[in-house]
Structure 1
Amino acid sequence: MMENEAIYPQCDRLLDQLSKFDSELLDLGGYINDDRFRLFEKGIGFNLPLDFKYILTLHNGISLMGTKVYGLDDDLKESSLNKVYHFEHLGAGNPMPAHFLPFSPDGTGNHYCLDLSKITDGLCPVVFWEHDVAYLSLNNVEVCNKSFTDWMQQVMIDWTTDDYNYDGSEK
């Protein structure tokens, strides 16, 4: 099996684990059934990783107890990938490089980003962009996870279940 063929079952397992959370804690956006990813990719000049497109096609935007993954829809206003991408690259005081796609805010102006310049076998690393750091080199931007699904497992699921049960009660 080619490595990228294993991406989708891994995504499905991750979504099954995510769905164990009580619906009061988890908000999963609706299905995307149009060409907005293709248009977005064309607009930014980069392909998106397969795991990211697959998960967001099934759930256009995800929120779990304050941890958010932006969706791709103008109706989401300032929480849409296209609006955030545009602002972080053209409107921010410390603009991101074009190949960083901010997909999840930390609540203080920083973002987890996909490094779209490093897609290999359909996946790319996740980096943490600090909006108030003047990076002397992009090598100084912290690489957090090897893929979007690894980030979701660690940040959304593992960090939440470290302190909370699936029903939201504290451990």
Structure 2
Amino acid sequence: MEIIVECDKRLEELYKFSDSILYLGEPILDSRLENLESQIGFKLPEDFKYILKKHNKFSLAGTEVYGLSENYGGSSLDFVYNFEHFEAEQEMPKPFFPFSPDGQGNHYCLDLSKIKDGLCPVVFWQWDIEYEDLADVEECNTNFLDWIGEVMIEWTLEVYDYDGSEK
């Protein structure tokens, strides 16, 4: 229950932004996320699933969180996961779940190997680094909600006001 309360608080922060810089996708009302969990063999964290069920794909000032739909083509979560794990030049470790691109071929990922109490850390996977050890992959946030708070909200507020005007 506490995770839901925290998710709703984070969503309320996002809702303060103008539609000129905030895009919120439609809700997921079916079992797509659960089917994806079966497909990849990992449970997704509760905060991630809750927010995606409210807004399937969303972005703030250019920072995007992928959605899950055949209409999204190459930017659908299932397509990105399969590409990064089976087709990319340097394949991602299976427990890393890419959810947000940086525009340079790198991704913020959920580290599904470390789910505890319904949450997991966010790591930053750089496609052009050959990691000797997975411990060398930068853990940037303790969970998805913290990532939204820092990367989406705080970093956006350094450049834009809530109304979308540049500072």
The TM-score normalised by the length of structure 1 is 0.96
CA distance in 2, matches of 1:80, 1:41: 14
2:22 is aligned with 1:26:
yes
2:32 counterpart residue number: 36
Q: 2:78 is matched with which residue: 75, 82, 87?
A: 82
Q: 2:58 is matched with which residue: 53, 56, 62?
A: 62
Q: 2:13 is matched with which residue: 10, 17, 37?
A: 17
Q: Report the alpha carbon displacement of residue 163 of structure 1 after superposing the two structures with TM.
A: 1.7
Q: 2:144 is matched with which residue: 141, 145, 148?
A: 148
Q: Report the alpha carbon displacement of residue 145 of structure 1 after superposing the two structures with TM.
A: 0.2
| Count of matched residue pairs | 167
AA aligned to 1:89 is: H
2:130 counterpart residue number: 134
Unmatched tracts of structure 1, length 5 or more: none
Q: Report the alpha carbon displacement of residue 74 of structure 1 after superposing the two structures with TM.
A: 1.0
After TM superposition, which residue ranges in structure 1, 4 or more long, deviate above 3 angstroms? none
Output one character per residue of 1:95-118: Cα deviation in whole Å (capped at 9) or x when no partner: 000100000000000000000000
2:159 is aligned with 1:163:
yes
The alignment yields a C-alpha RMSD, in angstroms, of: 0.6
Unmatched tracts of structure 2, length 5 or more: none
2:67 counterpart residue number: 71
